Each structure stands twice: as C-alpha cells, then as structure tokens.
Amino acid sequence: MATAEELRSYLKRAAVDLTAARQRVAELESRLAGAPVAVTGLACRFPGGADDPAGYWDLLSRSGSGVREIPEDRFDLSAEELADRRVYARHGSFLDDVAGFDAAHFGMAPHEALRTDPQHRLLMELVWRGLEDAGLPPAEVAGSRTAVFVGFMDPVQYARVETERTGFGILADPQFGQGVSSSVVAGRIAYQFDLRGPAVTLDTACSSSLVGVHLAVQALRRGECDRAIVAGVYLILHSDPYIQGCVTRMLAPDGACKTFGADADGYVLGEGGGLVVLERLDDARSAGHRVRAVVRGSAIGQDGRSNGLTAPNRGAQVDVIRRALADAGTTADRIGYLEAHGSGTSLGDAIELGALHDVFGRRGSGPLPVGAVKTNLGHTQAAAGVAGLVKTVLTLEHGRYPANLVTGAPATAVPADGSVAPAVTGGPLDPEAWAGVSSFGWSGTNAHVVLSPGTGSGNPAAGEGDPAPAVDLLVSGSTPAAVTAQLTALADLLGSDGAPALVDVAHTLAVGRARLDHRIAVPVAAGADPVAALRSAAQRTPVRTGDPAAAHPFEAGDTTVRALPDGVDGSLVPLPPHPFHRLRFWPEREGAGTPSAGTAEGGRSAAPGNRSFRPTWRVDRTATPGEVPGPVLLVPDALGIATALAAELIALGHPVLTVTDGLTAAEAVREAVALAAGPVQLVQLSSVGAVAPGARWDPAAALPFAFDDTLAAVQALGAAGGPARLLTVTCGAQLVTGGDARAPLTAAAHGLGRSVRHEYAGMSWSGIDLDPRADVADCAAALLAELTLPPRPEVVARRAGRRHRPEWAELLEPETLPWPTDGVHLITGGTRGLGALLARRLVADGVRRIALLSRGTTDSAELVDDLTAAGATVRVLVADAADPRQLRAAVAACTAELGAPEVLVHAAGVPAGGMAQASDAVRSRAVLLPKLAPLEVVSELIDSSPALRTVVLYSSAVTAFGGLGEGDYCAANTALDAAAAAWADEARPGLRVLSVGWAPWQHDDWQQRAGGPLAEQATAYRRRFGFGAADGCDLLLQLHGTDGPVLALRQSLQEAEQSFTALLDLDALTAAARAAAAARPRFPRPDLRVAYAPPTGGPESLQSIVADVWGEFLGIDAVGIRDPFFDLGGNSLVGAAMVRELELRLDRPIPPAALYQHPTVAEFAAALGGPGGGAAEPAAALLAGSAARGARRRRARVARNEEAL
C-alpha cells in the first residue's frame, strides 16, 4: 500500500505532466490556427466541353459558353406544356449526358445505379478524378482520416422523375429512398472509398460548396482530419427549377447571365460539378504532392435580417470578406484578383459591387479585376462556389485572369473610381498576387476564401536537358478498352508541346494511379521514343524500344516491375484521366397498358432510332426461398451435383427421379407426371462438367449435353403435357465477376430454354449458371434454393455464395474508336445478306483489302465487281463455316493473298429450324454449327495472330427475348454471346471482341418465308423497327471500341420487350391466324398421295372439329382425315397456332407434341379421345416423309412467286 509521501510525489508529477501537455496542445493549436491548406487535386465537369480542369480553362480563356437551348429530351414536358406553365426561359447550361454512369467501375449494381440520383453519380466520378489529379490512388486513402464535405441542394428532382415515370409503387423499392436522399450524398463517398473522417452534406443553397471549403479548412487546422474532399454538384433533371425560376422572375429571358452589365436581368440555370482535394500544406510538401494553390484563409457568415429572406446584405458581405482576409493574415492590398458571386441580377450585382468597393476601394495597389464564371456557365447552384474556386486556382496557375462573357455597357453600380473593375477583358496577374472567391447563398449564408499561388510538388523537377532513363510506364484500366484509350492519350500527351518529363509521367503512373483489373507495363529504354512505344502497345503490335522485353501485363504489388531505376526520382504531374464507360441509367416511363408491337407507351408510336444495351449483373438481395412445388426430375451431371441435390430433396420428403441409362427422359417425365402434385420440376444439369478445358471452344464437346439433352427433356415434357418447369443449369458459362466464363458454349442450354418457353403454353423456364469455383455441396444448395423461387424467364448466376440477376444497361455513349480501315478484313457469310451489306459499307468507308467467305461463288460476281470498282482488292474464299478445317484453309488463303486478317466479322448463319417438338439433334446441327464451329478457329487466331485487332460476331436479339420456332437459333447465338464475353474479358490490350445481338433487319425475310400469321406481324415490325443498311452499319461502327455482347435495337428496351411479347404470344398468334383465315378464301385440297377421306361422326365429332381447324388455318377447303399435315403445306408455327386453337375450342390442354406424334386428322382426333381413322403409317415415318414433301412444296412455291415477280 502506497504511503502518503508516495501519493504526494505522484500527484506532483501528474500535475507537472498535465501542465506540459496543456502547453503542447496550446502550441499545436496556435501553430494550426492559421495553418495554410494546400489544394492538391482538382476535378470538374461543366458544360461547354469543360469535362476536366484543362477543358474548363480552355472554355474560360476563350470566353466560351456552355449555354444552349433546353435539350428536347431533358424534360417530359413539351415546349407548349412549358409555356402553359409560364416558363419563358428556354436556355440553360446543360451537360451532354446526365443519364450515363460507369456503374461497373464503381462496383455498383445496375439496379442501384438506376435508383441513384445522377447528382450522386456525378459526384462519385468527380471524386475519382480529383484523387487521380492529387496523385492519390483509392487504395492509399482507404481507411484514412479523409473528410468529405459536399454542397448539395436539390434531392427532389430525380425523385419526381422516377415517380412520374414509374409510378408511386417505386416507394416500396428500398433502393429508392437512399438513392435520392441528400443525407446519403457525402456518406456514399465515404462508404465507396472507405474514408473515416467527417462526412457532411451541406445545403446553404448557392454557397454550399464554398461553405464546405471553409469547414474543411477548419477541420484540417483542428486536426479532425488529415485530408478533405470538398465538392458541389447540381443537375437539372426536371422542369420544376424552370417553373419556379420563371414564376419568381429570377431567370434571364434571353439566356444570358449579364453579370455587372447595365442590362442584367437575371441568371441562367446551369449544371455540373467541381471538386478540390485539400491537405495541410506541410503534409502535402512532405508527401511530395503537387500544390496547385494554397488556401490562406476563409470565413462564413449570415445576412441576418435584411430586406427579405433571400435579399443580400451589403454589410454582411463586407464582414465575411474582411474576416477571411484577417484569417489569411493579409490585407486587401494583397489581393490581385477576385472571383465574385456575380448572380447577374441587377439588385444582387449592385449590392455585391458596393461591398467590394467598401473592402477594396481604398487599397493602393490599383484596380481589382473581378471575374464572374456565371457568365460562362450560368448559375450552377450548389456547385457555384466550387466552380468559382476551381476557376481561381486555374487563374493563379496560368498567371492571368480570363474575361467575363458580357457584352454591352457596364452597370451603373460599377464604382466610378475604377477601384473595382469587372473583367471586361483578360489580363496578366502579378505572380505574387493572391486571390479571393465569394459565394452567397439565397439562404443568407455567405462564404469567402483567400488563395495564394501554388508551389508545385515537393520533389525537384527533372532537368530539361537530362537524358531520359529507362522507365516502365504502368497503365491500368477497368476494361481493356480503357487501357487502350489511356495508352493513346498518354502518347498524345508526350507528343505534344510542353509535355511533362518522361520520368515524371512514369512516377505518376506508378504511385499516383489506381491498379485496376486490366494492366500493362510499357518498357521504354533509355533515349527511346515513348510515343512510339505507347502507340505500339495500344495497337497491340510488338514494342521496339531497344529493350528485349515487350509490353506485358503486371500485377498489383508486382515487385519485379519498377517504374524508375534505382536512384531516379520523379514528381507528380497531371495526366489524362481514366476514361469512364458510361451506360444509360434512366427510368423508362410506364405505359397505361400493354402497347401492341411497334408502339411506345400509351399506344403512341415511338420514332425508331439506334439504341444499344449491354448485359450487366446485380446482386439479388430480395430473393426469399419457399417450398419446392411438385416432383423433381434430374438430368444428371458429371460432377455429382445432381446426386447431392437428390439427397437433399429426399431428406426434405420431395419425390425425385433421375434420368439414367435405364430410364430415358420420356419415361422419367411420364413417371414424374404420374407423381405430380404440382408442376414437374425438370432440372437439366448434364452440361455441368461435361466440357474439358482443352475443348472449351469445340461445339462437338458441348452441344450433346447443352443442346441435345435439353431438347430431349423439352420434347419429353411436351409429349407428356401438363404444367412443367424447366431449369437449365450450367457452370461457368457466363461472365459475371471476371475470369469465371470457363465453358461458354454450354450457354446454348439457356438459349434453347428461353425460346421453347414460348412454344409450350404450360411450360415455364429459368436458367442458372453455377459458380465454377464452388464445391458440389454449395452448388447443390444453390440449386435447391433456386427451385424454391418462382421461375422468371432469365438466367441468374451464383458467385461466391451470392445470387446475381441480369439486367440490360443502355450504352449512352459507346466507346467509339476509329474503324481500322487499313487492315485486311475477313467476313464469313460475306457474299450475301448482312455480310454483303457490311462489305459494301466498309469498302465505301475506305477498306481496301477484303476477303469474303462463302459456301459457294454463286451470285457473288456482281458484289465483287462493285467492290473492285470502288477500289478494293477482293477475294472470295469458298468454305463451309460449319467445317473448321475448311475455315482454317480459308484463313490461310486470305493471309497468303491479302495478308493476315486484322478484322474478322463472323456474319454466317442459317435461319432457325422450327418448333422444338418437331426438331431433332441432327437437324438442329444445320443451324448450330455455322454459328459455333468457327469459334474454334477464331480462338486460334486470337491466341496466335498478332495482327488481329477486331473480332465482330453477328448475334441476334432472340438471345434477349426468345423466339417461336427458334430454339436452335437462340441456342447458337446465346453461346456466341457467351464466347464474346469470355474473350473480351481475357483479351490482350488492343484487341476488341464484340457480339451484336441484332434486332431484325429490313433485309431479313426468313419469317416471311415461314408463312402464316407470324410473317404478317414480323413484316410489319421489320418495316417500322428493322435496321436499314445504313442504320445497322452506322451502329456497328459506333460500337467499335465496345467489348463483349451488345443488344442492338431501334426502340427502347421496354418497347422492344412489349413488341417481342406481342410477336411471340401464342394466344396472339392464334388470334391473328384465326383473323387471317377468316379474311381469305379457302383453296382446293392439293393432290396428295392419299385419297380424300371425310371426317366421320357428324359435325360435332372430334374428327370434324380437328379437320375444320386444319382447313381454316391452312386455307384448304376440305381436309381429309388421312392427309398428312406437312403435305398440306403446314409448318411448325402454324401447327402451334392450330394446337392452341383446339385447346381453346375444346377447353382442354393438348400436349404440344400431339401434332407431331399424330400428324393426320384421324390420328390426332384419336389421340384426343375421338374415333380413329383406321390404320396409318407409323407416326415417326409419316412425320418425316410429310415434312420433307411439305418442304419441297414450299420451296417450289417460293420459286414460282419469285419468278412471277
């Protein structure tokens, strides 16, 4: 136990220590109280091409303007409707694209991106760009005490757009509330970048972002954070700001913000965003960060009780400026430039000029030039303060101030003594001059910031005369296209006048940029040309730098790749930013009903125009497992997942049947139907684990399991009848997270399922792609969970235990790169159809070497003559695209005669083979192989041919919507898309792999050849929304630079879904066929090999009803009960409509297979329970012979029609 003396000694020591600590705290507070704060990073996006600080300065220095008329597509109100609401202002400062956002770059799910206010999304992009400019990779700031202060003043607009377009049901979406919440704005940035300092959203109206600068400076000085990001954003998303601005007469009628002009009559609404990164000056210098400017002081204040709530207060403005000068430890004489609030209203301008005269009128350093960026950009509201601040930083950096964009006489309020002079013309700045920035909110909150010029970086700059050492330029991007774009941009930068030193560029790339998924290191030997090295890497040709190493990928944390040699230091310098690949996220308007094919919402016809969409994935957090309904039938896999799933189902008490060598699919389905207490759940797993890694691109390895087994299962379900669910299962067929598409061709199973669901009234379909990295137990658990969910016609994916759902995101501004017209082009299917159309366009655009692959030379002479006359060297290569050996020989011939292909377009294809129930594996190969067999050769070229730069695969929109009678065609194109996604993910820099899922072209006519009601509907759709030759080729060239699958339409996605639904609906098809039959005369029965035998049993017998329907739909006056269906000119599409019509008339379900199993009236009626028609040929033989004869008749009929035309 301590003695009294020991306690007294301890208390004395504690008192001394406490006194010393207080003294140290006081010293630190004194030192930090007026500590200067460095501006180390800038970012902005304003109208008029001001997408970054360099573009902003270009706009300002040439007195440019971002103001234009309100874009036609910005508001839902028309010009007449705006006039009805007393909107007289028709101009504003608008960005070109507010709907686009690179959600994938930020790891945001498409649905979340759609629900997130575009102002939030703009802010995320600005933060990324600002950190890049500051030389701060996101990984470096993650977990740091970095603060976020955001000026944000209007969370209502996007909420209004969403509810007006999609209805108030959106309120039930949990993403809606946080997506439009102002409180989440700063927090979203802190979450996204893992920032641990204060995160505050500020709304003081127009002064919000400059108030944020003041609070950030105070937080840095108090030690509350080590770095601060300050931003302001504002977008005009709804017509409300115009309505309010005009009602209050705040907006200039002529669309000009005439700040400090005699005719000032209001401001112009503007949009955009700006951002600064702030650090304590000492910290920035110690870290070697570039100091673009220094914040010396700041202050905020309030108008208090003025002439009105929103009226400015001259005395309050004088006070805030003087307090900011005092905080900076300087006087009015030190200020050489001032960026005013400058709203452009006569009252506001007069009060501000008076306040400036009160502060600066007696200084002895000459007239004070006063700028006003609102003359260039309009009033950007919450972003106005930071817009002025970024302008002022750029002004100090360039040593001159730009002129205000104002013509006409000055306002009478301009001080006559010349002490305060609006910048009518630009001029130089004293290098030692400081600057001030004002921003005044209509809330009454005012802010002023004092700046001094920057000091550069803390590292010595490389000497201009010093020879450049060997360096590695480390470039990374979120996509291969982003890498290529940055390589090109860096080459342009280093090849320009005033380019930064190569060592500084290498240093900045190495330490100041994020290490993203796609990376390349470009070695540049000592004294070599970096521009040539970068351009060579961008084109993916060997890099010749004097160093034996060529451009190569590097890994994050790769210690074998160094940017600079030992002993060589560099400085941070500004570099081109990482390009964003923006997709369109904007709510589509809900229609009043379901429009017919080819119409927009509410039944109004939509004007066709090129639209493109790319597939994305989002994590599904809403799925709630339930119970497995009905018996489960398993088509097993090679990995044992079906066995594990069966064990789990049996343990839960569910009946399970497995297709084995002793139990065919048909037999298993019949047993499952007999057990059915609900729909049969058929789980098709046979493609899982079926494809060895070495056979990844071999259709012979994938199709027997992915297509043939699925077709057999479908046909078994169709023959059994009754309700059923088909779940197609693959493993690693889809690209979801990167590097996970290991068996792309097995995606054919999902393509078949997507189409056949339209052919069977009682069948639903869904698909799932299992995680190739998961074990058997996890895969079985995922399937069990999927079986408990209601089926949706889509393919979901499981990755890392999460369920991902697919979505389409519009490509608002595709990454367009110039088409490589100088290279050799090889087009499969190039002498006819879409291939020939593209060949003509490419030659017209300058392609001079082109090889056209065709199964024969017939009818190609005219095309070759035309292309040759246009200046091209043309070779027609005879090869069957379905035969890889012939295709390899054709590629070799092309290389020998013209050169190695740089562009390969795979446009070969065969129309769909008809309804699944009437098909078989052998017939389907005629459709599948021309699409899929060439992929093996394409893969070889990708791996071995350094010349290959672009691969384009012609796919179809059926992969998104399905099709009637197009199961094999949809399967082929779905696998094609999966292949493109995998190649794009794995492609080396400089190689583009794109598949285009085309909606119908006006040139297409296979539906017309199919005959029947589908032809009439499809023709009407094609005429309105089909791609013309110019439209389609324009879109393809625009998409060059985009990777992976893309859906190409001439409608919005919602309208296209409605159109295809109308085209594919069996009931609608049946109704159309019924109406067409009633409107046309019936023709005499054709001469057949069987004698006519009339129906028996009277007019109400099944034979009579069936014969009547057949005659009605086939247009034949009298159908005999032994007449084979296909001999009468029938086809699978008409057959599907006939079966559905009989279901409706008889009020009973009929298995879709019935027509093909019983292809005469007598057999069909007997199968339905009516009297038979006597002996008949075996159904299979009769069906095959009848189909062949019907096909010959149709070919002859088409030939006669063409001859007559």
Residues designated catalytic: 206, 341, 379
Q: In 3-state terms, what secondary structure has residue 642? A: helix
* HEC readout, 998-1047: ECCECCCCHHHHHCCHHHHHHHHHHHHHCECHHHHHHHHHHCECECEEEE
* HEC readout, 368-382: EEEECCHHHHCECHH
- Alpha-carbon gap, residue 272 to 119, rounded angstroms: 9
Tokens of 457: 């970086």
* Inter-axis angle of helices 833-844 and 861-869, nearest 10: 10
What is the number of other CB atoms lying within 10 angstroms of the CB of residue 416? 8
Please give the torsion angle defined by the CA atoms of residues 126, 127, 131 and 136, in that order, rounded to the nearest 10 degrees. -150
| Nearest in space to 688 (alpha carbons), one of 700, 676, 705, 672 | 705
- Alpha-carbon gap, residue 391 to 63, rounded angstroms: 13
Q: In 3-state terms, what secondary structure has residue 14? A: helix
Phi first, then psi, for residue 825 (nearest 5°) are -115, 135
CA angle 52, 55, 58 (to 5 degrees): 150
What is each CA distance from 47 to 66, 72, 94, 581, in whole angstroms? Answer: 5, 16, 6, 19
- Alpha-carbon gap, residue 1090 to 1121, rounded angstroms: 10
Parallel, antiparallel, or unpaired for β 824-828 and 901-906? parallel
Q: In 3-state terms, what secondary structure has residue 529? A: coil
Phi first, then psi, for residue 148 (nearest 5°) are -130, 120
- Alpha-carbon gap, residue 350 to 346, rounded angstroms: 6
Please give the torsion angle defined by the CA atoms of residues 634, 637, 640 and 646, in that order, rounded to the nearest 10 degrees. 0
What lies within 8 Å, CB to CB, of 456 at 6+ separation is 290, 291, 571
- Alpha-carbon gap, residue 959 to 794, rounded angstroms: 10
Q: Where are the beta strands (DSSP E) in 152-215?
A: 199-202
- Alpha-carbon gap, residue 225 to 200, rounded angstroms: 13
Tokens of 689: 């684990």
Please give the torsion angle defined by the CA atoms of residues 65, 71, 76 and 80, in that order, rounded to the nearest 10 degrees. 100
Ranges of H-type helices in 38-103: 53-61, 79-84
C-beta separation of 907 from 828 below 8 A:
yes
* HEC readout, 667-696: HHHHHHHHHCCCCEEEEECCCCCCCCHHHC
- Alpha-carbon gap, residue 697 to 861, rounded angstroms: 34
C-beta separation of 389 from 211 below 8 A:
no
> Locate tokens 């074990």: which residue?
775
Burial track 696-735 (b if 16+ CB lie within 10 A, e otherwise): bbbbebbbebbbbbbbbbbbbbbbbbebbbbbbbbbbbbb
Backbone conformation region of residue 884, classed left if phi is above 0, alpha if psi is from -120 to 50, else beta = alpha
C-beta separation of 817 from 539 below 8 A:
no
* Inter-axis angle of helices 1066-1079 and 1132-1146, nearest 10: 90
